[in-house]
Amino acid sequence: MDTGLDSPRTLLVTLTGADRTGVTAEVLSTVARYGVEVLDIEQIIIRGRLVLGVLVTAPRQWTSLRDALEMVATALGMQLTVEKGQGDTAGRAEGRSHVTVLGTPLRAAAVAAITGRIADVGANIDRIERMARYPVTAIDLHVSGAEPDRLRRVLAGEAARQQVDVAVQPANLLRHGMRLVVMDVDSTLVQGEVIELLAARAGCLDEVAEITEAAMRGELDFEQSLRRRVALLEGLDATALDEVYDGLLLTRGARTLVRTLKRLGYRFAIVSGGFSRVTDRLAADLGIDFAAANELEIVEGRLTGRIIGPVLDRAGKAAALSRFATEAGVSRAATVAVGDGANDLDMLAAAGLGVAFNAKPVVQQAADTTVNVPFLDAIIYLLGITREEVEAADAEAGIVTPAPPV
């Protein structure tokens, strides 16, 4: 007979076995008959195998509950373990983060290295979720016991060594609320640089490309470099802007990113050191809410080689982000900025989450996180949205998504 001496304060009940309908309901119904409190619960299904864990307060006659659960497990054809404990979830450390890992492919060695560094700082992985397996593999680790900033610093170096992308974000409600996504355009939302496409038509591509590269590396002041490049376009027929737009290639996943997040209530903005005649059309085509760019002077149908008004430079992009956040009615902490060049650094720093997308080294070092896979919609997984949710939303809208390879 159980005397109650040395009785546990909590019981961790774990069932494993083939998934079937009603397992969770059966277990919780059994537990409920003993009047206990559920402290924590988690369930995972992997290839038809179910793992159900329930942490409950232990009744005085706790062995009776254990015996009843063993009968349930036998009837269900599952394995049961009941672990005694003297505490509840208060033992979990403070400092909670979401650590999202992206790879193409995502190798076991890389996951082992990342999880090893998490353990090195004394943090614990409470849960792991798969966010996507195609076209990138993405997993989300729920981590406790380390402050996000410290975790980010530790994991950044390991991510570079393993050639995977790792994003660390505080576990708070902002990740699931409405947010404003602010994107650079050239080499981020679209492939290539618009000014270089114009320069090819003006016959000065080599000169413009050389200035562009120096500016993107942060070696030249952006405004001066832009004015020098635009000056080389003097005399170009303005119809070249429309020709360039018609030939633009969106980055893979761009439409999926905008379409999916717009459906979820997100707002979008594009800010570009490029030109409004292109970005305004791009915003209209994609349903983007806000746009800011430079305006080229056109006289008698030709470019004069000058810009009208102030140049939208590095500081101007950050200011545009703040202005658009105000207009969208969101805090700056609820903004996500995406860019690739030195001209995006202030914008990335001002945002709640700054994402360096296939960026120059100086930008990758400064941003909150990097994404180096060639799919812009991989950013969706940083926001806690799974590939399955994207495909379900597409199916509701009648959009057919390609099946992943077997």
Active-site position among 140, 184, 368, 377: 184
User: What type of residue sits at position 251?
Assistant: T
Q: Token digits for 35?
A: 């009047």
Residue 165 contacts residue 102 (beta carbons within 8 Å): yes
Active-site position among 186, 340, 368, 377: 186
- Reported residue count of the chain is 406
Q: How far apart are the first and last CA of the chain?
A: 55
List strands edge to edge, sheet with 335-339: 302-308, 290-299, 267-275, 180-183, 335-339, 353-357, 369-371
Determine whether 140 is an active site residue: no
Determine whether 149 is an active site residue: no
Using DSSP bridges, classify how beta strands 335-339 and 353-357 pair: parallel, antiparallel or unpaired: parallel
Residue 369 contacts residue 382 (beta carbons within 8 Å): yes
Residue partners of 338: CB distance under 8 A and separation at least 6: 181, 182, 183, 184, 188, 355, 357, 376, 379
Task: Provide the angle, in degrees to the nearest 10, between the axes of the packed helices 205-216 and 222-231.
Answer: 170
Cα separation, 344 vs 68, in Å, equals 61
Alpha-helix runs per DSSP H in 167-204: 194-202
Q: Would you please indicate which residues are annotated as catalytic (active-site) residues?
A: 184, 186
